[in-house]
A and B are shown apart, each in its own frame.
Chain A
Amino acid sequence: EAQVTQNPRYLITVTGKKLTVTCSQNMNHEYMSWYRQDPGLGLRQIYYSMNVEVTDKGDVPEGYKVSRKEKRNFPLILESPSPNQTSLYFCASSLSDSPYEQYFGPGTRLTVT
């Protein structure tokens, strides 16, 4: 089944404790992206990647890092999480010739205390 998977689905952590949210897709998509969803703000793009070893900042990259060492994986790293990073995070992927038709993962609800 074609899908985007994220782990963990739920995470409660404390300020400053490094964490990684994994994202993996099995559709051989070149384009991958991370969003955060906050009430009243919709979805905002954090980082995106057009292909392996190619990443770029989205609208709200501060406090996040990403890497794209393999085509299927695009982990989101929070080196020192803070409470304002409490949010619902979505990973998405698509073909590079149609980066607009994005397939979304199930979401990761992160709480930073």
Chain B
Amino acid sequence: AQSVSQHNHHVILSEAASLELGCNYSYGGTVNLFWYVQYPGQHLQLLLKYFSGDPLVKGIKGFEAEFIKSKFSFNLRKPSVQWSDTAEYFCAVTEFGNEKLTFGTGTRLTIIP
């Protein structure tokens, strides 16, 4: 069974710092990859997704993620964070042809003004 690991449970940064959140998955076949964000008190929203093609994908609000197949990773990045980026971030994976979406345990990001 596939699994998703997010090793950073809580990250605290100052505004304007650069961000990188790690995501690793276990499945060896073709995968679809996602990052979801959950702002305080809100529901999950899709931040960005990777299905195929360019391994560097850009999402909303200046976020991007890079799929590195050899490392089974899909890390989320942002060059300069803002206080409004404070949220919980979830990496998620599906195997190609399988509708089941498996989530990581999430990373809580706190931005200090």
Contact = CB atoms under 8 A, between A and B. Distances in A.
Nearest to B46: A101
A92 B106 CA distance: 18
Interface stretch (B13-21, B57-65, B79-87, B93-101): B93-101
B43 A43 contact: no
Interface string B28-66: 000010101000001111100100000000000000000
Consensus secondary structure, chain A interface? strand
B105 A90 contact: no
Given A40-B105, A48-B99, A58-B100, A105 B43 contact: yes
A81 B68 CA distance: 43
B49 A100 contact: yes
Interface string A72-113: 000000000000000000101000000111101111000000
Interface of B: 6, 9, 32, 34, 36, 42-46, 49, 90, 94, 99-101, 103-106
Closest 6 CB pairs of A and B: A99-B99, A42-B105, A43-B103, A104-B44, A104-B43, A42-B103
